[in-house]
Structures are given as structure tokens and as C-alpha cells.
Structure 1
Amino acid sequence: MSNDTQIAKTGNNLSQPDLPKQPIQANLNQYGNDSTQIAYVQNYDGTINQTVLILPGCPVGGAPLVTQGLTFNYDCFNFFVIGTEQYTESSFIVPKNRALTESTSQEIKDQCAALTPEAIAIIKTYPALFCSENHHFATTDPDHIAYYGYVKDIKIQDNGIKVYFQILNQLPQQVLIDLSEDLCIGGARAFTELSRTHWAIKRINLVEVLERAGYRVFKL
């Protein structure tokens, strides 16, 4: 098992979900200093808010880290497209003039764009996609990876908006391009939202869209 958890590819027949209806006991093997596991979720339903148990990796020779329970709100998702960002650090910077200033409904801007403590608390409940700009405008390379996760914290700085994040899964960015209409991230034929650095919030159930396309966002 590698440190990066892959999104599990499933069949498209939603009438026969492959998740068990009852809890099952499993042995989880974790390797590496900074691995992350997600506990089993009984009767998973991506259309409702759920608390997901996050089990951080334990540093070698260190004390176990505190287990964290997160309640996700799947009504919306954070959508980050940041230059050539590789998301190898614990945070990244969004330019202030591209943070919730475009490709976001006025209703969400009114609620979240000021980044008050109350707004940040709401933003942190939304799942997130972490992307870098497409390599070829409206298309990209097969090995171009995007990430699914959540926002841990947000700090307003002189040089931009600093976003602390946690990655849970990864998937080819081309998948998002193929689903751009369903995810409301489309645009001109040769230029989409994945071609421009910005941060938007979409009133779309990201988990539902991905699962309908055959991609489960948690590998349990």
C-alpha cells in the first residue's frame, strides 16, 4: 500500500452498489510516516452530510496522533486550480484577486468570500478538489493528477490566501475534464476553469458526480 490512496474504480450500475450494507471487520496495514486512513462508513450516502473518521499516520517512533472526526457537507465543493502546484506541502497560496471572485454564484460569494471566521467554518465542511492548470488548455496528460480532500484551515496574509489542506484520494485530472459539465467547471472549447488559477465554490454534489461516473472517493 503506498502513501497515496487511489480512488477506487467501480462499475456504473448504481442499482447494485458494491458497498456492504452491514459493518465488516477489517485489518488495515499502514506504511510510511504520513499516511492517512479513513475508517469504514456504514451505509455510505454521498447525498447527505456525514461524519468521516480520519486516522492520521503515526510518525515513526512518535506518539499516535489524535483521531479526527469531520462532518462533510456535500451540497457544495471547493475547487482549487493553482498554477503548477504539486500539493506536496501542507499549504498553498491563492492570489487574493482570484479567491472566490469568479466562477462562483453571488449567493456563495455573499456567504463566504469575506472569509470571516464563520465563513471559514462553513468552507471547511465542504469537500475539495485540488488541481493544477491543464497542460494543454482544455486537455491534459494522462499522468496529470488531481486530488480529493478537504480544507483544514485558511489564513489571510499580505501575499495571498494561505490554504492548509488534507489529501484523501487522487485521480487523473482528465476525469474532471470529462465531467466538466456535470461539475460546472466547463468553459470555452479551448479554455476551461482548469486552465486558470483560481479558487471557486460550486453548488454541486462532487461525491455524487464522481460516484455516478464510477469513481469512489474513499477507499475503505
Structure 2
Amino acid sequence: MTIQKNLYNLLMSGNEAAWTGTSWVMEYDRVFEYTNAQVKQQFEALDDTALAALLDLPTLFAYEKYVGAPVHVGRVTGISRRQKEFAFTFNFDATVAPIPHASFMQLLAELDIDPKWEVNRSHWAVKNVNLADVLHRAGLLPTGTLGPLRRPPQVFISYSWDSPEHRSWVTQLAMTLRQNGVEVTLDQWHVRPGEDLAHFMARGLRESDRVLMICTETYVQKAQQRQGGVGYEQMLVTAQIMREVGTSKFIPIIRQAGHPRQLPDELAVRMYIDLSDGPEQHANLLRLVRDLHDISVPLPPLGQPPV
């Protein structure tokens, strides 16, 4: 049996809100249910190599039978381990229209989905089926291929707990970034009671594409004096900057009331984005989003030299 090139993820949920956002969770004991033994063997280690392979597979985001909601086609874009579950992020393929529930139910046999038990249980399966071919033959996919989706930029937010108001501001910034297609790692969302904060910070700084350093006056003071979590993160940032002098990974984000603006010494010569309250805040936020998506500002056309 050939199982290398004809695989897809099936994510089945009984929660009608599961696929309305960009992230969800699945308990460990629900992973690889209704999965062929030979297929399961390739991924059951669930190490970094196996998780990376799962990210490469096209995915059906389906609902249990009683929900009756449309099915979406896309990709899992990120997987992180928690104590009892996987947290994952996902994107839908904009070139594939949502599949009506009735149409999906007619394709269960071709998709290798048990019509009695599997459509009534939340789980994560890997199927030995060419998903693109099934959808194409059913008239649900214009071509017989599903192209890779661009992974959203991964951002880690470093900040100090200045006040409840400031924490809310940081949360709102993270929500705005997610609404604009940026995957955000934030302690308020991704750290559970009892978890190792130092490990979380080190992993976030290491694995993210960009790091937003929210430079309030308190943050700068803690960074300079190497105090608390901010000080620990600053040591890690300094070490990476020393290894990669030209890196643009670390973006200072100013949120300050006074002038001149303050930055930690390691960031003093780097271009910052000012999100302090004021008339330029919205324009600067859009500038940040464009940069995170690597969208350059278009240059005006080059004119003719004067005669």
C-alpha cells in the first residue's frame, strides 16, 4: 500500500465554534483515532519531525454529524504541546469553497471516514486518501492539486506587567495582529499554571520569526537592570544579536508618554515603531502589520531626468 503521497489530516469537532477562528485544541487521547496502523506508525512518535510532517498535509476541518455545518479545506500551520492536549493554529485555503454538509456526507466512503462512529466523535485522524483527487472528481476543486499555504508570520510579544491596563493593551494588540493574519505567542494565552516560564520565554524567542518588545518606561528600566522576566529575555536577545549582528528579528514597540523615547541599550540604534497614544498610532500599526507580512511599501515610478 502506498501511503507517502496520499495522506490528509481529518480534524473532526462537535463544537460548532471550532473552525470559526484560527486556533483550536485536541486532547492527546483523540489523536490518530480511526487512522490506519501503517499510517499511524509514521507519526505516532509525535516528535518534532512527525509534527512537521503533519503540517505538510492538507486538512479537512469537519464538524460532527449533528452540527451539520460546512467543511473547510486548509492546513494546520502550527502545533504546540500542552499538558493534556495539542494546541494548533490553522488557515483555510481561499481557493476552495466551503463544502456543504450534505456533499461531505456523500463523500464519506471515498474519504475513508466511518459513517457510523467517526462522524459522531471529535478526533484527529490521518487518512490514506488523495484529498485533492476526491474533491476534484466531486466537482469541489477546480484542479486536481492542493497547493501549499503560506505559513502566517510567527510573533512573540515581550512586555512587562506594568499594570492591568497595560496588560489589557498588550492583549488587544495581540488580538489585532491575529485578526490581520499574524500568529501571536503571548503568555496570557499560552502559559498554564505550573509551567516553566523561563522555558516558555526561551522557546518563544527562539522559534518566532519576529519578537515585539513593548518598550514602556518600566520595561526599559527592567531590561537595563536585568530584572525579572524582562531582564532574562533581554539577556537572551542580547546573545542572539551578538550572534546575528544584522538581524531584524527584534522590533522595539514604543508605548510611552514622555520624550525623548527610551530604548534598552541593545536596541538603541534599531528602528522602532511608536504605538503610543496619538494621531499616528493607527498608521504605525498598519506599518507594523505590513512589515510582519513582509509587504514592502511600493516605490513611486521612476520619472525621466530633466532636460
Higher helix proportion? 2
User: Could you report, residue by residue, the CA deviation over 1:54-111 in whole angstroms, capped at 9, with x for unpaired residues?
Assistant: xxxxxxxxxxxxxxxxxxx8510000001214312221011111111x2111122221
What's 1:94 paired with?
26
Match of 1:82 in 2: 13
| Secondary structure class of the residue paired with 2:114 | coil
Q: Structure 2 vs 1, CA of residues 183 and 177 (structure 1 numbering), >3 Å: closer, same or farther? A: same
CA 1:192–1:179 in structure 2 vs 1: closer, same or farther (change >3 Å)? farther
Q: Does 1:118 align with 2:76?
A: no
Give the secondary structure class of the aligned counterpart of 1:97: helix
What letter matches 2:120 in structure 1?
S
- Check 1:157–1:129 CA distance in 2 against 1; reply closer, same or farther (3 A cut): same
The separation in 2 between residues aligned to 1:97 and 1:212, in whole angstroms, is 34
Percent identity (aligned): 28
Whether 2:171 is the aligned partner of 1:171: answer: no
CA gap 1:163/1:118 in 2 versus in 1, 3 angstroms: same
Q: Unaligned regions of 5+ residues in structure 2, if any?
A: 147-307
Aligned partner of 2:36: which letter? Answer: S
Correspondent of 1:128 among 34, 44, 59: 59
1:206 aligns with 2:131: yes
Task: Give the corresponding residue for 1:52.
Answer: none
8 Å CA contact retained: 1:99, 1:161: no
Q: Match of 2:11, SS?
A: strand
Q: 1:94 to 1:85 in 2, by over 3 A?
A: farther
Write the distance in 1 (CA, Å) between the matches of 2:102 and 2:28.
Answer: 27
Residue type of the alignment partner of 2:138: A
How far residue 174 of structure 1 moved from its aligned partner, in angstroms, is: 2.1
After superposition, the Cα gap between the structure-2 partners of 1:74 and 1:128, relative to the gap in structure 1 and judged at 3 Å, is farther
Which residue identity is paired with 1:98?
R
Task: Give TM-score, length-normalised by structure 2.
Answer: 0.42
Which stretches of structure 1, 4 residues or longer, exceed 6 Å deviation after superposition? Answer: none
- The equivalent of 2:77 in structure 1 is 152
1:89 alignment partner AA = G
Q: Is residue 182 from structure 1 mapped to residue 107 from structure 2 by the alignment?
A: no
Mark the CA change 1:202 to 1:210 in structure 2 (over 3 Å): closer, same or farther. Answer: same
Q: Secondary structure at the match of 1:104?
A: coil
What is the one-letter code of the residue matched to 1:150? R
Shift of 1:167: 0.8
**1:119-161: CA deviation from partner (whole Å, max 9, x where unpaired):** 01111111000012111xxxx64xx211100010111111411
Coordinate RMSD, CA, aligned: 2.2
Question: CA offset at residue 199 of structure 1?
Answer: 0.4
Structure 2 residue aligned with 1:216: 141
- The residue type paired with residue 90 of structure 2 is F
Closer, same or farther: CA 174–150 of 1 in aligned 2, 3 Å: same
- The SS at the match of 1:174 is helix
SS at match of 2:71: strand
Equivalent residue of 1:181, what SS? coil
Partner of 2:230: none
Query: CA 1:145–1:74 in 2, change beyond 3 Å: closer, same or farther?
Result: farther
Q: How far has the Cα of 1:217 moved from its partner?
A: 6.3
Q: CA deviation at 1:202?
A: 0.3
Instruction: Find the partner of 2:87 among 162, 165, 169.
Output: 162
How far, CA to CA, are the matches of 1:85 and 1:96 in structure 2?
21
